[in-house]
Amino acid sequence: MLELTKTSKILLLAVAMPTTAFLLYWLLKSDEEEESKEGKGKKIITSRHTLIELKIPRKLAGVVIGRQGQKIKELQETSGARINFKDDNGKEDEERTIQIRGTSESAQTAECLIRKIIADQPVKITTEMHVPAKCIGRIIGRNGESVRQISRSSNTKIYIDRTRDGYRDGPRPITITGSLENIEIAKGMINELVEEEEKFRAKTAVSAANREPRSKQKATKAQYTSDNNDSLKPESLVSANEAWDRPTSAPTVLTEVQWPAYKEYVEVYVSAIASPGIFWVQLVNSASLQLDLLTEQMTVFYGSNYDSGNLLVTDVKKGDIVASPFENDTSWYRARVMDVDGDKLDLYFIDYGDSNYSQKNSIRIIQQEFLCLPAQAIECRIASVKPIGDSWTDKATEEFEQWTHCARWKVLMAKNEKKIDTGDGTDASSSPSPSPSFPHLTLIDTSTNVDFNINKELVLQGYAEWIDPQ
């Protein structure tokens, strides 16, 4: 082999280097031209993908996903990138991470689309408004139906704190979460209900003021002794083994009002008393106004048709519903016949709970239209206390009558302490269809600055003792 001189080697290397550089340039140029030709037909998926991780508020994840994932599918089709949420790993952070995979162009497009969705979402805020406590029941509605309707219609979340004293008539907070516009809608709907409640209460106050106080019922079968809160025995007019047969269910033509077990505290009038252990209440609601109107209509009708032979009662039996005046009262009321002794009738006034003896010729046949309103009197028991001794004393009954403003139409707050087993493992105190068992009530007079707990006062005054130690 020929040996090259040092100078020859240098010359040969100088010639070879440009040639090599040229060959390398030619190969790269050929690859780029080939990719350009293929790119005109379709996008080439290569391993050179871009990964973008984007954090968004957790509460907006559903907006990006869409119903049944429809929105995220549209984003993928529009951008050409793959979009998925990073696993939470059980963490309850305030943000979630979106992973976007694709070419640099498609990933950036997807990111811009997602950021626009987030930016377009209305800003949600939380605010608080205050309403009178007396309006809370109307705002919540039966089993929460009203507040749920407001929430759906305004697209807001509404929280009402029910842990406070539900019987005090002070301001109660309502927390509303949503966009500013939607919050204003919810506030408007709530204020409408507040206005309705205030109008109703104004009407109720006028109606109660126009009601005449009813005289104390006669001692027919209403004087009782009790060994305990549930075991009642007659004292003198009936035998020891005879139960007082005030009905617990009405004929099919007349329904009876039920205790609203879905409410913790209920406004009531105490309408009649046998003793602190047994008494009757009327619920203060729209039916109170209906009852007053019904009484007016019956009074006009029977007053103008008193001598009509078509309304005279010729055959009467126990359990019949009739129209009758009350003693020392010119108004007409609905009554049930409890006993018949010749022409003498023992009547139970189904809307008030009191009793009266009447002659058969003084009652009239009840018209069907006067049976539409359910019987308003609810027979109740006093909760948590029992008389000291075998029976309630006359003095205790007199005091109880004064404290409850019996038949003088003053509102008390009542809480049913009776826990009723519905037989299916649930508690009827939270059911809208309560058992016919008598409500066992705690009665509270809130008309002054200091609550007057009537149950507690019976104990403090020495008329009663607690059934269970307090």
In three-state secondary structure terms, 45 is: coil
343 located within any domain:
no
Q: Note the maximum CA span of the chain.
A: 156
Q: Token pair of 458, please?
A: 């019976």
273 half-sphere exposure, CB direction, 13 A CA radius: 23
- Residue 391 and residue 294 share a domain: yes
407 has a pLDDT exceeding 60:
yes
In this structure, the answer to whether residues 84 and 192 fall within a common structural domain is: no
Q: Is residue 321 part of a domain?
A: no
Is residue 96 included in any domain, yes or no?
yes
Claim to verify: residue 169 and residue 110 sit in the same structural domain: no
Q: What is the CATH number of the domain that holds 109?
A: 3.30.1370.10
Looking at the domain assignment, is residue 338 inside a domain? no
Q: Name the residue with higher pLDDT: 381 or 254.
A: 381
Q: Determine the average pLDDT of the residues in 105-127.
A: 89
Same-domain pairing of 152 and 285: no
Would you say residue 344 lies in a domain?
A: no
CB-based burial, 154-168: b 16+ in 10 Å, e otherwise: bebebeeeeeeebbe
Last residue of a domain, one of 187, 210, 233: 210
Q: Is residue 265 part of a domain?
A: yes
For residues 387 and 301, membership in a common domain is answered with: yes
224: pLDDT strictly greater than 60:
no
Same domain? For 261 and 397 the reply is yes
d(C-alpha 335, C-alpha 325), whole Å: 9
Question: Which residue from 234, 231, 225 is spatially nearest to 393, judged by alpha carbons?
Answer: 225
Identify the sign of the CA torsion 189, 193, 194, 195: positive
Is pLDDT at 313 greater than 60 in this prediction? yes
| Residue 325 located in a structural domain | no
Average pLDDT over residues 379-383: 96
Distance CA 171, CA 45 (A): 65
pLDDT band, very low/low/confident/very high, at 236 (cuts 50, 70, 90): very low
Question: Hey, what are 399's tokens?
Answer: 């005091």
Question: What is the pLDDT, as a whole number, of residue 428?
Answer: 37
Helix, strand or coil for residue 179? strand
Tell me how far apart the alpha carbons of residues 6 and 16 are, in angstroms, rounded to a whole number: 16
What is the phi/psi pair of residue 110, to 5°?
Answer: -60, -40
Average the pLDDT over 324-348 and give the result: 93
Choose the weakest-confidence range: 15-24, 142-151, 227-236, 440-449.
Answer: 227-236
Please identify, among 93, 120, 147, the residue that sits at the C-terminal boundary of a domain: 120
Rounded to an integer, the average pLDDT of 83-112 is 84
Segment (H or E) for 174:
strand 171-179
Q: How far apart are CA 301 and CA 332, in angstroms?
A: 9
- CA distances (Å), 333 to each of 18, 307, 404, in order? 121, 17, 23
Coil vs helix vs strand at 23: helix
Do 379 and 461 share a domain, yes or no? yes
User: Which are the contacts of 112, defined by CB distance < 8 A and separation ≥ 6?
Assistant: none
> Which domain covers residue 189, as residue numbers?
124-210
According to the per-residue pLDDT averaged within each range, which of 143-147, 232-236, 437-441 is highest? 437-441
Rounded to whole angstroms, how far apart are CA atoms 138 and 189? Answer: 12
199 within domain boundaries: yes
Tens-digit pLDDT profile for residues 183-208: 999 999 999 999 999 998 888 888 88
- Overall domain count for the chain: 3
Q: Are residues 228 and 176 in the same domain?
A: no
Whether the pLDDT of residue 292 is over 70: the answer is yes
Q: Report yes or no on whether pTM surpasses 0.75.
A: no
pLDDT in tens, 382-398: 999 999 999 999 999 99
CATH number for the domain harbouring residue 401: 2.40.50.90
Q: What is the pLDDT of residue 143?
A: 78
Q: How does DSSP classify residue 421?
A: B
- 376 and 460 in a single domain? The answer is yes
Q: Which of 27-31, 148-152, 379-383, 435-439 has the lowest mean pLDDT?
A: 27-31
Q: Which of 340, 360, 339, 337 lies closest to 349 in space, CA to CA?
A: 337
**pLDDT attached to residue 281:** 97
pLDDT of residue 309: 85
pLDDT band with cut points at 50, 70 and 90 for residue 164 = low
Q: What does the pLDDT read at residue 87? A: 78
| pLDDT at residue 215 in the model | 63
Q: Are 142 and 283 within one domain?
A: no
285 or 208: which carries more pLDDT confidence? 285
456 shares a domain with 377:
yes
Residues 132 and 271 both lie in one domain: no
Final residue belonging to a domain, choices 75, 104, 120:
120
